[in-house]
């Protein structure tokens, strides 16, 4: 009988003995990691012809923005209005409402990789016309700074 490469009654030999790194048993996704370590933060606000702060990241925290949704309604037939969602005073989403008596703009964004904001950063909404009101909703997780250093 010919020699066999494998004999069923042999004990298996470990190929990986380990060095400095061991393969992880489980690698969580961003959302699993954030939801396990973070606190849900969500809210909404409406404004007309002004800028308003929705949220400011507290000291020793990191905020992970998951999604935003905005709606803008223009009540005048004479002008186009712009409404912005701003991250630290930089527009991240702009909606334009048309020149009709019922001009409406809607937009939603969900981030496949959450937007990371450090302590002191702000989320704001801005409307540039007195005849336009805008409502914005946001959702994310607030994580302790010391826990966020691993990602």
Spell out the domains of the chain, with CATH numbers in brackets.
39-148 (2.60.120.40)
User: pTM of this prediction?
Assistant: 0.73
Strongest mean pLDDT among 15-29, 38-52, 123-137: 38-52
pLDDT number for residue 139: 95
Q: How confident is the model at residue 72 (pLDDT cuts 50, 70, 90)?
A: confident
In the predicted structure, residue 82 carries a pLDDT above the cut 90: no
Which positions ≥6 away from 94 have C-beta within 8 Å? 82, 83, 84, 85
Which positions ≥6 away from 55 have C-beta within 8 Å? 41, 43, 63, 122, 123, 138
**Complete DSSP assignment for 72-85:** EEE--SS--EEEEE
């Amino acid at each position: 009988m010919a020699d066999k490469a494998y004999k069923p009654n042999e004990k298996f030999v470990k190929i990986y003995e380990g060095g400095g790194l061991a393969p992880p048993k489980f690698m969580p996704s961003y959302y699993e990691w954030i939801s396990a370590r973070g606190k849900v933060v969500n809210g909404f606000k409406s404004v007309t012809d002004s800028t308003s702060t929705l949220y400011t990241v507290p000291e020793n925290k990191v905020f992970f923005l998951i999604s935003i949704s905005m709606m803008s309604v223009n009540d005048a037939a004479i002008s186009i209005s712009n409404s912005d969602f701003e991250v630290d005073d930089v527009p991240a989403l702009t909606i334009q409402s048309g020149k009709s008596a019922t001009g409406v703009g809607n937009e939603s964004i969900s981030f496949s990789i959450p937007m990371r904001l450090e302590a002191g950063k702000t989320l704001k909404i801005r409307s540039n016309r007195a005849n336009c009101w805008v409502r914005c909703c946001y959702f994310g997780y607030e994580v302790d700074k010391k826990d966020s250093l691993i990602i």
